[in-house]
Every structure is written in C-alpha cells, then in structure tokens.
A and B are shown apart, each in its own frame.
Chain A
Amino acid sequence: MIPEFGQLALIVAFCLALLQGVLPLWGAARGDARLMAVARPAAHGQFVFTALAIGCLGYAFLAHDFSVIYVASNSNSALPWEYRMSAVWGSHEGSLLLWAFLLSLWTVAVTVFSRSLPQLLLSRALGVLGLVSAGFLSFLLFTSNPFLRLLPPAPDGRDLNPLLQDPGMIFHPPLLYMGYVGFSVAFAFALAALLGGRLDAAWARWSRPWTLAAWVFLTLGIALGSFWAYYELGWGGWWFWDPVENASFMPWLTGTALVHSLAVTEKRGGFKNWTLLLAITTFSLSLLGTFLVRSGVLTSVHAFATDPRRGLFILVLLALVVGGSLLVYSVRAPRMEAGGRFGLLSRESMLLANNVALAVVAGSVLLGTLYPLAMDVLGLGKLSVGAPYFDTVFLPLMAPVVFLMAVAPFVRWKGDGAGRVARQLVWAAILGAVAAAAILALVANAGWRSALGAFLAVWIVAAAIRHLAQRVRAGAPGAGLATRLRRLPLAYWGMWLAHLGVAVFIIGVTGTRSLESQSDVRLAPGETATLGEHAFRLAELRQVQGPNYSATRARVEVSREGKPVAVLEPEKRMYHVQRMPMTEADIDYGFMRHVYVALGEPVDDRSWILRLYVKPLVGWIWGGCLLMALGGLAGAADRRYRLRPAAAPRAASTGSAAPPASPAGAAARV
C-alpha cells in the first residue's frame, strides 16, 4: 500500500509542478496577479508531495519491502539500517527522486527567503523552477519509476553494491545533488531577468547568496567524493579525472566564475550578459553531469545502472533546457544595457581574466570528457583521453588564475596604477620566490611543479595577510584590533577564507606530489617492510565476520625510527550476496601526513601483497576545500543580502503585494 501511496504522491507532485511552471509565467506575461499568486502554494504543495514520495521509498527500504523492484535490487535483509536509508539514492531511480526532492526543497527555500523580491521576478523564477521540476518528475514517472512492484515478491534483496556501503554514501550524493540542483535557482533568476528584460544590482544581490549556497554544497560534495575515493578505492589517489568526477567539476568551474562575475554585476553593473550566460551554462552542466552519471554511456566506476533509453530522455530534457534558455537569451539578452567602463588594470579586468580562464578550463575538461563519447556515438572508433591530458592542460591554465587571485583584491574598481599595486605585493613575491627556491634546494626530486606550487601557496598567503592588515588599518579610528576585525563584513571574510583555502589546497597537492612515497610489498605474518623512515610489520592476519560480509583483516604495526606510530587494520572483504571483494584501506590520519595501508591480494597460503603509502600533507587538500566552502558560507551569510528594503522593512514580508524594487538597489544601479 505504501509504495502505491508514494506513486500517487509523485503524480500529484508532477501536476503541481506543471501548475507552478505554467500559470505564474503566463500570469507574469499578462500581468495577472492572481495567476502569479499560484506559484507559492504550488511550490509548497509540490515539496510536501515529493517529500512524501521519498519518505515512502525510505519506508519501503526500512521495512524490507522486497515486493518493490527498486528495493529488491538495492537492499538486503542483512544490510545495516543506515545503508538501507542511503540505498534510497543508491541507484538510478532513487537518485532522481532525490534530485526532484532537493529541487522542491530549494524552491521552497526561495519562497521563504525571497519575500522581498518583486512579485514579477519571483513568480517568473518559481515558474522556471516548476518547469524544470515537471521535466524531472515526468522523467521519473515515465521511465524510472522507483515504486514499480515485483510479483511475486523476492524472498530477499540483491543487496546494495558493496562499494556504496560506506558512510561516504550517506553524505556525498545529497551534498553533490544539493550543489547541482542549487544552481537551478541561479538559472531561474537568470531566466526571470531575461524574460522581464531587467537586470540591475538588486537582481545580482538576490542571486549572489543563492549561487554561493549552491557553490558551497557542490564544493563540499566534490571534496567528500574525492576523500571517499581516496580511502575506499584503495588506490591512494584523490582525483582520477574520471568522467564522473569531471562531470561534477565542470559546473564547479563555471559556478566559481559565476560567483565572481556576479560580484561585478552587483558592484559595477557590468558583465550582465556574461553573468546570465554563466548561470545558464552552470545549470546546463549540472544537468549534463546527471546525464553522464546516470546514462552509463561512459566507462566509469560510477556507471552502475546503465540504460540508454533513460539517457535519451535526459538528453531531450537537456536539449530543452539548454536550447530553450539559450533561445530566450538570444532573443532577450541584447536588451540588457552594457555596464560601466573600466581600465586595463582594474578589479573588473582582473575578474574578467578569472572568468575567461575558468571558462577555458571548463571547456578543456568538457572536450576531454565528451570527445570519446562523441567519437563512439558517431562510430569513429573507441578511444579515451588519458589523465595526463588533464594534468598537462590544467596546471598552465589555472596557474595564472591563482596568481592573479592574490593580486585582484588590491586592485581598485574602474582603474588602478600598476606601480601602486606592485608596491604592495613586492614582499609576497619575494617570500614566494624564497619558498620555491627552498623546495628546489631541500627536496631531492622536486621539479618545477613543486616550485610553482610552493611559490603560489606562499604568494597567496602573504598577499592575503597583507590585505587583511591593510583593511584592519583602514578600520574605524580608535577602535581596538578585535573590534576592527569584527567589523569587517562577512563577505570580505568569505573572500579571504576561500582564497586562503586555495593556498592550503595547493600546499596539499604540492606536498603529496613531491614528498609522497609508495611501495607494493609482499609480506607474510611476522615480516617487516620499510618505506623511508617508516617500518611496517605485518603482525597477523585473521578472518572476521561483518553483518553482510566476511573479511581477512591484517594487523600492521607502523613504527618510525623504532617508535610505534599506529596500528592499522586494513581488510579485504567478501560481500556474501553479490560475491564481490572489496578493499578497505586503513589510514592513520595525521595533520602533517597520512600513513595508508591497503591489502592487495593473497600470493600463497601465508603472504599477501600490501600497498604502503606515506603521504605528507595530503589532508590539506580537503582542508583547503573545507576552507573554500566556509568562505562561501560566510559570503552567503553577509548582512547586506539579508537586509530588507529600508522603505518597507517588515511590510514586504507578507508577500501579497508586490513591493517596488528596493531603493537601495535603485541607488546602486549604474
């Protein structure tokens, strides 16, 4: 009964999404306030019903309802409850339901937090969100229904893919999808602005926190996915340029560009068309990501559920969204007036360089990801693009961006003198050069990449500290240091932290690349292998039983110069239902280094192949991502995004009357 209830809830949600998609847009076109007023209740209703649907699916998993095909193929009576919950998005149907649910969640958030928006803009944005939602819900209903029954019911389920039976599965997909789907809000605002033919500083101020929020989720999602791959796959790498990773990285790149371009649109009224185009592109790439992951056309570790017909449906959906929005863009965009002029060296030109470079990087990743697919589809042969391509391209393209990242905050809007800017950065450059020279002199096999990494990291940190000091010095006279620090706007802290995060990330990457040591060894119990200063003694091997697997567990005693460092217990698991082996590495997480041990395979009765790593600074990679996300969060929480129009502080929040564009926004318009 419950699955049918979920099915019904999905159908109701689909009808509400259609209402939300059609009536407000129609009303906005005709200036009919009653039609526009449908948007809000329809969005709320849609949220309730998609929540019901995903709740029903969750219940079917918890209650072991193996008469539902989706549950029978992705769960098992021996599966622990937390993985039964996360199995809801363990495969194609459920993850699309999660997509639709999160979209309705973002939509409700828009109705709640954007009460001060003009009704025309809000109802257009909600209408666009409704159309996107209707597309996805119809996809669910017509091609990928998670509530289909299995008759007769299976006695037990086929189990969740063992690779997904990990805490990473509980958090990584929801975070990533929150990011993907979150960009739909920026997309909807962009289309609403295009349809209304009006894009001002107030619009940018409304879009910025939403874009930042989505960007924070995407950053966290990608970082968590990378960390998961690092400890779970047993290969010790943290980024493989796998098509699915690229699929999440492309919207991140254009999303990062969008965050910066919105700054120019807000402060100077410039880059308007470009900002709109980026918002459209970012969301389109998010959809493309869903398509790449879920159609299974790519050889990839993520391509579990493969069904080309569904891929075709997503492709059509993608074509409608991209084609439709670009059509609106091409018809309406020329009406957007150009922004203010700016000099050769100005904050605007810096951000322009950032945007162009990020767009080129995103384009090169897109080329490397889609080219093999296109060749295959056209029957021109099977090929793949090797990871060295991405490494070769990424570094030279990103290095200038990262270099300018430290410069840009010092450069004034409109125009600035090269001498003035250079004088403030002399010390940062010297310190960076010293760091690069030190790396080359001290580390045996450091190449130019390591030197570049060291230079950039120190350059960013030094420039950031200098800039902060400058801001503090310019603070209110007479106030103490703590007061001055506290009075800096959150948006400034956001920028500062995110940029510092990039430096920390670079330190992590450079440190791991130039100092890492690795060895594959064959050990029998009692034997010891050494790797640099660390000794690894295989103390014992024993069999252990998990809830739904049995495993060989090794006890490896790690010591450094005779002193014990850690005891690591990597496992090789065999999951009972799917008869699938899994490597569970064990890691000693240190601030300055990770010691990583994975079990390879047995060689004979006694000995095993073990893969040993000592990875200096590797944790800083994800630490840097966390700082970036924290920065984005601080930026999104800045006071000026929460300020209501001064003229109508509370009255606007009733939401019934359309408040005029905020006076603050009108004043800020250039």
Chain B
Amino acid sequence: MKSRHKRLVLVGGGLVAVIAAVALVLSAFRQNLVFFFTPTQVVAKEAPTGRSFRIGGLVETGSVQRDAGGVTVRFVVTDTAHEIPVVFSGPLPDLFREGKGVVADGKLDTEGVFRASQVLAKHDENYMPPEAQHAVDQAQKAAQTVKP
C-alpha cells in the first residue's frame, strides 16, 4: 500500500459511496413524484390508481359536509367542468372555504372518491393556488373549444 494505492482506494471508495448515494436519491425521487391532475383528467381516468397524486380546483358551494363525529369532512372539488368527491380527516386549513381554490394530496379509492391525506389552501384571501387556477383555466379552455 504505497501512497498511490492509498489514493486509489480513497478515490475509488469515495466514488462508490457517491454513486450509491446518487442511486438512492434518484430511486427515492422517482417513487415520490406527486403528479397533478385536474378533475377533468381524473374523470377521464388519466390519474393513477393506487398511487398518490394531487388534485386542485374550487370547493363546490354547498358541498361541505361533516360526519357525526365532526372530524371527517366530505366535499367536492370542481374545475367548473367535472367534480370529484373528496374525503378528509383532520382540521382543515384556515382559508378552506366553499367557492375558493383548494389543492389536495391523496389517493383515489375504488369508488372514485379521493381520499385526501393533506389539504392545502393558501394564506391569502385573493391568492389562488397555482394548481387550482390551472385546473379551472384548463376546463374553461376546453369548454370554449367544444362550444362552436
């Protein structure tokens, strides 16, 4: 083991460690990408089943219901073209309102109900979550192209 060999071991070992780390990062990265789908896309069965994704749109007016215990909430997210029923357990964010923008992470169950693990509504009355805005814009664009 002369110094040249030592250096080789050092560089080689370091390289192996870095490659392992990068492999770990990339595989974790692939598994945790959360894709965004609009309610229209979910209805068109473009969203994955059994994997988490994110939906966005407006909370439909009059759709928010609490179950008897009061902790579980049901509401409907709409992009003005299609609706998705959502179930969520836990306290909703302060700015969650009917008719306002909302973004939710979760999975679709077999009955087509979106089981949300997290509900986000932004801390600003005038601010629309970009994803929710995007969903509504897409739906309205589609509606305009269909009409004529």
Contact = CB atoms under 8 A, between A and B. Distances in A.
Contact of B91 (A234, A344, A384, A388): A234
Contacts of B131: 299, 382
Interface stretch (A278-286, A391-399, A659-667): A391-399
Interface residues of A, number: 50
Interface in A332-364: 341, 343-344, 349, 352-353, 356-357, 360, 363-364
A520 B89 contact: yes
B94 to A, nearest CB: 4
Interface string B112-131: 00000000101111010111
B54 A384 contact: yes
Interface in A603-649: 603, 607, 609, 611
A158 to B, nearest CB: 10
Contacts of A522: 69-71
A360 to B, nearest CB: 5
B28 A603 contact: no
A360 B18 contact: yes
A167 interface: no
A328 to B, nearest CB: 27
Nearest to B38: A382
A286 to B, nearest CB: 23
A393 B28 contact: yes
A358 to B, nearest CB: 11
Nearest to A519: B71
Contacts of B70: 522, 603, 607, 609
B28 to A, nearest CB: 4
B134 A382 contact: yes
B71 A609 contact: yes
A384 B130 CA distance: 12
A382 B35 contact: yes
Interface string B28-42: 110111111000000
Interface string B93-105: 0110000000101
A386 B53 CA distance: 10
B44 interface: no
Given A396-B24, A520-B91, A367 B127 contact: no
Contacts of A356: 14, 17-18
A563 interface: no
A609 B72 CA distance: 10
Contacts of B43: none
A396 B24 CA distance: 9
Interface residues of B, number: 43
Nearest to B90: A520
B146 interface: no
A66 B109 CA distance: 52
A581 interface: yes
A304 B9 CA distance: 51
B6 interface: yes
B52 interface: yes
A567 interface: no
A161 B94 CA distance: 13
Contacts of A368: 29
A384 B34 contact: yes
Nearest to B124: A304
B54 A609 contact: no
B35 A383 contact: yes
Given A304-B124, A356-B14, A381-B35, A389 B29 contact: yes
Contact of A581 (B18, B24, B95, B134): B95
30 contacts: A163-B123, A234-B91, A234-B94, A301-B123, A303-B122, A304-B124, A304-B127, A344-B10, A349-B10, A357-B21, A368-B29, A371-B29, A381-B35, A382-B134, A383-B33, A384-B33, A384-B34, A385-B34, A386-B52, A388-B28, A389-B29, A392-B31, A393-B24, A393-B29, A396-B21, A396-B24, A520-B89, A520-B91, A583-B94, A603-B70
